[in-house]
Amino acid sequence: MSSSSHLENIPDKVRHLKAEEDEIDQPSGISTPGIVETGDGIRKSSYPKGMNPKLRYIKPYWWPYKTFVKQRWIGRQILEVITTEFRDRSMEYYKHALDSGVTRVNGVIAKPDLVLRDNDRIDNTVHRHEPPITNDPILILHIDREKQFVVISKPGSVPVHATGRYFRHSILEMMESDYGIKCYSVNRLDRLTSGLMILALTGKAASNLAKEFAEGKVKKEYVARVKGKFPEEEITVDQPLMTVDRQMGLVIITPEGKDAVTIFKRMSYDAERDQSVVRCRPQTGRTHQLRVHLQYLGHPIANDPLYSTTEVWGKSLGKGGVDLTPASQGTSQADALLARKGSSTPIKKTIDRDHDDIDLTSPILLSEQARKIISKLRRQKDEAEDWIKWKEVIFSVKQAQDNLESEESAMNTNSNPDEEKNSQSKSKPTYAPRLKHNRDNSISDEKNSYSPSPLAKPEYLPEGFCQDCFVPLPDDPDPETLFIYLHALKYQTPELGIHETPLPRWANENWDGDWRGWSDGVVLKDVLKEDRERQERENQNIQDKSIDT
């Protein structure tokens, strides 16, 4: 049977998948503008897909990049690594991509069972579907050409650097594309956090400014909207923090963590919503420090998807931290990695991605409570992903066709499928040839690739799938779920002085519910216009002096 066979040549049980599409939740399409809630409580936009005025979109594009094998990947099969390390697509998709030859290791096409070794280089081609971000512009607060820095207010929902599925929707790329200003990062804010950032205009300035942050010379103030009535008195939290799950970015309080200190003071209390606005002064700069310290006090950020849901944390919302007693079934990180070495880890038909690599990602043995929290967070994320909803129709059909072709090939060659299977199971691990040149850690810089798909197109592509990479096209998210009520308000540095943003609208004592914009009465200067005029005057002065001489 050739790959050009029509749908009617597929077995009945697979053909039924096409009929089942009517039973699968379809993208919402055009409906009354606003927000709809699905049965599982997920909020989504009901604007036509790709047309929500509160969102910023970008056309998907092909992106080739390369990276070297990380230490924890050594000795593991590439499909198993990709499936457990990354969660934005299904195992079936990753296997289809590998089978299609879009991934190479040391220049050789990497099949799913290839075992990774130290110093292997992975070259991959991905079709980037960058998620939408809120359509809030980056606010330019101050530009100093002499000291070579710019002060901005970052919108929530936008990462600072290229990361994961985000590249052009990142602060550094948007500063260049929107304003023509090439910037270098000095400090970092979480993607969900908004507020003040200092960016350098040259690499040298970035190094000097970053040193001030690293040495703790920068005083910072944040503002947060939290659940419950926060105490009136000033409170200091000095609990150490550690990241225990990379996939979800989960941080917990544990003695083995890094020292972290935060001072909190209530600004106002909203009795109608039972929420408080709190000023936060971090004395250290740890990942998720404010979010976890507020949760520890029993007052997590009101709309924090990671640390403030009762479905994951229970009625206490994580107050007092998680239990730290190691679970009986837990395995150390070293033992978990050792168990995956070589060919002893066969490709499984299904991988339980709620639990499969929890021990791989945590530096410490986790309690049963912590393991359950991670599983719930992963499951919650997966339930919001459209590849779950679509039941992998496309890959089920492709697999069925591949099976038919394999059976026909086996009959034509009079081979025994069972003997072939046994022979394969006893084969040695598959490795890529060693690189002959020096290790190069650079990342490919091809930014505008709209070339034809390198993926093999399946026989049947249901409506609602990407025509280039064949994954389901997700519905637009609710813009209000793309950020949290945490805002960097003020920085004070010895060299650059004091800089601050206006108070976010949601931090008003009498908040009207609209999260966009700033406190009433705020008038913002057009810093870009002033900078252009200043540069024009300086250029004119230079020209005048040149004429005089």
Burial of 203 (0-12, 13-18, 19+ CB in 10 A): exposed
Nearest to 417 by CA among 396, 433, 403: 403
Per DSSP, the three-state class of 8 is helix
Q: How many CA atoms lie within 13 A of 91 on its CB side?
A: 16
Give the DSSP H/E element, type plus range, for residue 143.
strand 139-144
CA distances from 287 to 95, 165, 168, 451 (A): 33, 20, 23, 38
Report helix, strand or coil for 94. helix
Cα–Cα distances (Å) from 371 to 190, 207, 334, in that order, read: 24, 39, 17
Question: Which tokens go with 405?
Answer: 């072709």
Closest among 355, 245, 261, 376 to 313, alpha carbons compared: 376
What is residue 204's three-state secondary structure?
helix
What's the CA gap between 186 and 400, in Å, rounded?
Answer: 52
Q: Could you tell me if residue 106 is left (phi over 0), alpha (psi between -120 and 50 degrees) or otherwise beta?
A: left
Closest C-alpha to 395, from 304, 345, 457, 309: 457
How far is 189 from 277, CA to CA, in rounded Å? 20
Beta strands in 7-120 (DSSP E): 35-37, 43-45, 55-56, 61-68, 103-105, 108-109
And the tokens for 217?
A: 């010379």
From the candidates 113, 120, 136, 190, which is the catalytic residue?
Answer: 190
Q: What is the DSSP string of 338-377?
A: HTT-GGGSPPPS---TTTTTHHHH-SSPPBHHHHHHHHHH
Q: How far apart are CA 472 and CA 461, in angstroms?
A: 10
Residue 99 known to be catalytic: no
Q: What is the DSSP letter of 419?
A: H
Three-state secondary-structure class, residue 336: helix
Task: Find the radius of gyration of the CA atoms of the chain.
Answer: 26
Which positions are catalytic?
Answer: 190
